[in-house]
Structure 1
């Protein structure tokens, strides 16, 4: 019962030590089985001879259950310290020939081993061990991440049956790291007992009881290393994780890549949409060299100056703002060409005569030439009024109609209508009469569609004769209606 209490205490102490880990995962626990070798190492006199049957398992005692527990902590420079608790039942042990104490207890003595020694089967002695060891990782030295040989030294205390003894120990280990945190561990430890007379296996002063022999202990187990902080649980320790609070990928130092485009989210301007590295992780659906998030028309190739939108007609107005996207036109007309009804090259909005062709120099209207004015004045000479009145004689209406036709050819031209009389009568009569006759011509032309704004009238009486008033023919020439072009 005393031995069990000591072993339980050793297991509690094991919570303060470590083995087979590193600075990233400073803590480790190994759970496994152990085998006690009660053979040559127990009785050989020569130290080197104690390892002569290292690979012979005939003398091994194995408890078929989890029988070893190690807890360890990394100290630095590839060195760790751990405490191991183990339990076993030694059923095979080599002892001097002629000792029959165990035989009397029902054990079976097997034939000669060497140097007169005998192996006893069925010894049925409980074994408990507590060991503290410093371990040096050769795997850390050679830089291997999965193959981790090691050496260890330390000391401990062992209980065998009713006997107990302290020891110094050392050995070799090998861990194969299957994953970052799980490894398969194998080790062998030579435990040299410190109690006097241990090499003879007996202490007769203690009542012919067997003492704890020097022995080999082999272990096989699974090691779990832990203790590194990984806040986001992505398998990358916070000290190496550029995004420690967001689960990510190893190739991006722990940062995520939600859209899987090979650009980590913290460097990706479009982290939720698969994109191209040249556009900082954003896509360019239409392939126009402008990423979608900057492209006002992401599905249609366009121009950079129009934020990725096209200008099909090349008029400098992007299609989405152009009311005539396939026909060039000015911005003032929303991208549509100005209409030119008369086809004279002067757009209607600038053309004072949009339905009659004319040069731009005359604002799109036909120009009144000298021959047209001459013709109007020829008509004007033939307008006849009733004597002393401003009313027309019947035959003058045809003349007036012809004048209206000529004027209608020039929609923007302005004309001045002048009335003149001969010298017969006084100015008091002739001046108002000439004025009324000129105005009568104006009013008739207005009735024929000539804009009133284009016509002015004035009477000059007899002040501007063009012939001699002393003759009948001269006075007839002086009675006239003249048309002048107003410029």
Structure 2
């Protein structure tokens, strides 16, 4: 008895060394309970008699009213487990062979101690019946049995079992085993059957994150998750696991990789530069209210269409001549499109200029102005300013008095004097040119005083 106690302690220590499931998740199991030994099969003379009343003659069973077996097993792959069972009993009922086909006689062989140590390979049929509670099995193996103080023998074992799992880890188990002895006599060791009933505990599975999915099957063993995602979490419960969710903290549809589209512009918030306001993909989800191709945050006139070059605002036309200021060379004076927004010089204006020019008076033989000429020059300045985009040529002429060379020089100097006065009074130099023609282009006779006066003149011409 003391040897069997040592065996039980050793087997329990072996069970304590593991921490993983009999089915692959919890690979280890320990069972304990009561066992019954029946020697009837040894007494039967025919094979059919050995098993015909296998469970009917329970009156012949030897049972101890205490825990009398311990089994430790480990899942070894597929539906197979391997285990070691240690059991003890006391044989007070021994079935003798029948005499002349008479009844079986049951005797007490002397309260013989019974000890057995068996190795068992078990094949589970649970998957075949597609059950999560009932676990039928077949088993085979071998062991060694001690009967009394002098009899012992090796046995070849085979049998059936059934476990009902109350939970994933706790079950009620029953196993019956036929043990064939190679020393088949009462004096040594008869073949016999042994039955085991007790509780089975599976253990050893690791589930660090406590999500009900064992670490070996858990793709995210450090973080509690869902079975449909192999143990990985879906924090925002949008049906997309965190590793594939671009917005794991905020629920969103799969079409946007788990991100929401708050403004409904079909651009996910995580890539939407303006997630609260519906906008366009071209502007990263930001709006363009006036549809001018300039997004609102860069549009200085977001309710009125305008070009990007002007900050989204329409180009102004200050003078209202239908030529935009950007193209209008005279933005503050109404003009014509043909003349780039500047007014066109009319024949009337040219006539007015030359009417004034004819009255310009110079000191005799010089290019200096007489005092009464300055108002005339100012009038010419005013007219030229009305046409800021037009260019003019100032031409000087003399009568025939004097030498030709002197008259040529005098005409050039007088034309230049008018040009310089105009420049000094605000007319751009780039708009003006001057030339002298001496006495070469008379408009009247040089034989009369009046004719000479007409030939001494300044003319203003439009340069086209």
Match of 1:357 in 2: 334
CA distance in 2, matches of 1:34, 1:163: 25
2:201 to 203, 223, 235: 223
Deviates more, 1:377-386 or 1:261-270: 261-270
Structure 1, residues 402-440: CA drift from partner, whole Å, max 9, x if none?
322221111122222222222233335433433343334
Aligned length: 444
Match of 1:111 in 2: none
Match of 2:98 in 1: none
2:134 to 129, 136, 147: 147
Aligned 1:279-318 pairs, distance under 5 A: 279-318=256-295
Deviates more, 1:42-51 or 1:468-477: 42-51
Q: Is the 8 Å Cα contact of residues 255 and 265 (structure 1) preserved in structure 2?
A: yes
Structure 1, residues 238-292: CA drift from partner, whole Å, max 9, x if none?
5x66678987643234555566543345545566765432234455454433345
State the Cα distance separating 1:467 from its structure 2 match: 1.7
CA distance in 1, matches of 2:11, 2:371: 142
SS at match of 1:360: coil
Match of 1:434 in 2: 411
Q: Is the 8 Å Cα contact of residues 339 and 347 (structure 1) preserved in structure 2?
A: yes
TM-score by length of 1: 0.72
Q: Structure 2 vs 1, CA of residues 308 and 196 (structure 1 numbering), >3 Å: closer, same or farther? A: closer
SS at match of 1:351: coil
Match of 1:407 in 2: 384
Q: Is the 8 Å Cα contact of residues 88 and 126 (structure 1) preserved in structure 2?
A: yes
CA RMSD of aligned residues (A): 4.6
Match of 2:33 in 1: 33
CA distance in 2, matches of 1:58, 1:152: 21
Match of 2:85 in 1: 84
State the Cα distance separating 1:369 from its structure 2 match: 1.6
Deviates more, 1:267-276 or 1:137-146: 267-276
State the Cα distance separating 1:176 from its structure 2 match: 3.3
SS at match of 2:356: helix
Q: Is the 8 Å Cα contact of residues 27 and 71 (structure 1) preserved in structure 2?
A: no
CA distance in 2, matches of 1:82, 1:155: 11
State the Cα distance separating 1:351 from its structure 2 match: 2.5
CA distance in 1, matches of 2:418, 2:77: 121
CA distance in 2, matches of 1:153, 1:341: 107
CA distance in 1, matches of 2:194, 2:396: 148
Q: Is the 8 Å Cα contact of residues 317 and 323 (structure 2) preserved in structure 1?
A: yes
Match of 1:175 in 2: 163
Q: Structure 2 vs 1, CA of residues 439 and 135 (structure 1 numbering), >3 Å: closer, same or farther? A: closer
Unaligned runs of 5+ in 1: 97-113
Q: Structure 2 vs 1, CA of residues 154 and 457 (structure 1 numbering), >3 Å: closer, same or farther? A: closer
Aligned 1:164-203 pairs, distance under 5 A: 166=153, 170-177=158-165, 182-189=169-176, 198=186
Unaligned runs of 5+ in 2: 16-20, 96-102
SS at match of 1:131: strand
Match of 2:65 in 1: 62
